[in-house]
């Protein structure tokens, strides 16, 4: 696959998984049955300025699972890209201590999607942790991106298949 195709895959992954809206996140407010889109929730907060101090709410993945769990993002990618070879892979930080993710001390472990055995796709770092400067997609066959991915996620032989 050439550089143009790699760029196209990066763009496709950004379009499908680069934002809460792209993923199709919904907000559940305690005491309400209907789910809101993220835009509807933002409007609700504007109309209810005291909500943040008293309201209980959860952002949910399209399948209803929690939007704060990294594994759920990887599973969503696998389901969305069902026609492609997608594995959910990850590591326990105790088994992968030399990578940046472990040193960031964000969780006990981390899961992400491996698309076509080539692209590491991880929207969780951006959408949950707010790291806009961390790439969401790494082409593991492109030397510079592979080096960045190894720095952040550790050596590929430290990753295990989750599902």
DSSP-based three-state secondary structure for 115: strand
For residues 74 and 149, state if they share a domain.
Answer: yes
Query: Alpha carbon of 130 to those of 6, 33, 125: distances in Å?
Result: 25, 29, 6
What is the per-residue pLDDT for 5?
Answer: 76
Query: 13, 37, 60 — which closes off a domain?
Result: 60
Angle separating helix axes 70-80 and 3-17, nearest 10 degrees: 120
CA gap 52, 49 in Å, rounded: 7
For residue 62, give both structure tokens.
């399209």
**Domain presence at residue 6:** no
Show the domain range for 128. Answer: 68-161
In which residue are the tokens 């993220």 written?
A: 38
- The reply to whether 32 and 74 lie within a common domain is no
Number of domains the chain contains: 2
Do 92 and 154 reside in the same domain of the chain?
yes
Q: Could you give the CA distance from residue 160 to residue 65 in angstroms, rounded to a whole number?
A: 22
pTM value is 0.91
Which own/partner pairs from 135-139 qualify as long-range (CB within 8 Å, at least 24 positions apart)?
136/13, 136/14, 136/17, 136/18, 137/9, 137/10, 137/13, 137/14, 139/6, 139/9, 139/10
Residue 53's pLDDT is 59
Residue 21 lies in a domain: no
Q: What is the pLDDT of residue 30?
A: 86
Tell whether 80 and 38 lie within a shared domain: no
Question: Are residues 50 and 87 located together in one domain of the fold?
Answer: no
Same-domain pairing of 101 and 136:
yes
Q: How does pLDDT run along the chain (163 residues), one tens digit per residue?
A: 467 778 999 999 999 999 999 999 999 998 888 999 989 998 988 998 887 656 688 999 999 999 999 999 999 999 999 999 999 999 999 999 999 999 999 999 999 999 999 999 999 999 999 999 999 999 999 999 999 999 999 999 999 999 8
């Amino acid at each position: 696959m050439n550089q143009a195709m790699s760029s196209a895959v990066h763009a496709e992954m950004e379009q499908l998984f680069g934002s809460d809206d792209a993923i199709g996140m919904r907000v559940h407010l305690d005491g309400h049955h209907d789910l809101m889109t993220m835009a509807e929730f933002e409007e609700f907060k504007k109309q209810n300025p005291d909500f943040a101090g008293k309201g209980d709410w959860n952002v949910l993945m399209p399948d209803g699972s929690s939007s704060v769990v990294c594994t759920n993002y990887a599973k969503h990618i696998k389901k969305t890209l069902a026609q492609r070879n997608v594995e959910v892979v990850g590591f326990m930080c105790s088994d992968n201590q030399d990578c940046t993710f472990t040193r960031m001390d964000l969780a006990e472990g981390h899961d992400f999607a491996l698309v076509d055995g080539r692209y590491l796709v991880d929207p969780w770092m951006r959408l949950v942790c707010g790291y806009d400067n961390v790439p969401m997609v790494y082409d593991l066959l492109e030397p510079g991106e592979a080096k960045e991915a190894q720095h952040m996620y550790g050596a590929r032989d430290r990753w295990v298949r989750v599902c």
